Amino acid sequence: GNLHGTSIAYRGMLIFIFYVLWDFGYYLMAMIMNLVSASSTGDPTLITIMVLLFLGTVFALISGIMCYFRTRQYLTSRYAKYEMVRLWALFFMLSVLIGGGLTIASYFLLFGEAFSPLYIFYMLLEPISMMLMSIVCFFSVLRLKSNY
């Protein structure tokens, strides 16, 4: 889509951001119960990771909403500040990367010894794919300046 001058790639990026927002919104509800159960274990490492993951999810939700709206407004020429679009995309990418890394760390702390390596690999596929897609979204926003 980017090579032919169409906005198909940017629409796909916006769909991904909307999916991540929906996923993080749902994840935030479950995160509250995970935070309570982690605090009942008394493990300070697990509690710290879960609190950071909760705060990272809130930040990813806010930065994702702003990235979605500002990119959509920029594509329809209702917003002219490309630097702010790029900044929100950077915040979104960083929050997804940090959140994905903390998710992987919490999986290893919680389930490291209990499951087979194949099961752990399947659990890691979603966070890793979301991290890679957030990087792709950021680079798509960087390319946005030359197309519009």
Give the pLDDT band of residue 1 (cuts 50, 70, 90). very low
Q: Which residue has better confidence, 5 or 34?
A: 34
Give the pLDDT confidence of 109-133 residue by residue, as tens digits: 776 677 777 777 778 888 888 899 8
Task: Summarize the confidence of residues 2-24 as an average pLDDT.
Answer: 75
- Lowest mean pLDDT: which of 15-19, 38-42, 100-104, 114-118? 114-118
- Angle 135-137-139 from CA coordinates, rounded to 5°: 70
* The pair of three-digit structure tokens given for residue 43, joined into one six-digit string: 């493990």
| Contact (Cβ atoms closer than 8 angstroms) between residue 144 and residue 89 | no
Q: What is the pLDDT of residue 5?
A: 56
> Structural domain boundaries of the chain?
8-147
Cα separations in angstroms, 52 against 8, 12, 84: 35, 29, 25
Does 2 have pLDDT greater than 70?
Answer: no
Give the pLDDT confidence of 77-120 residue by residue, as tens digits: 888 888 999 999 999 999 989 888 887 877 777 766 777 777 77
Does 9 have pLDDT greater than 80?
Answer: no
pTM of the model: 0.78
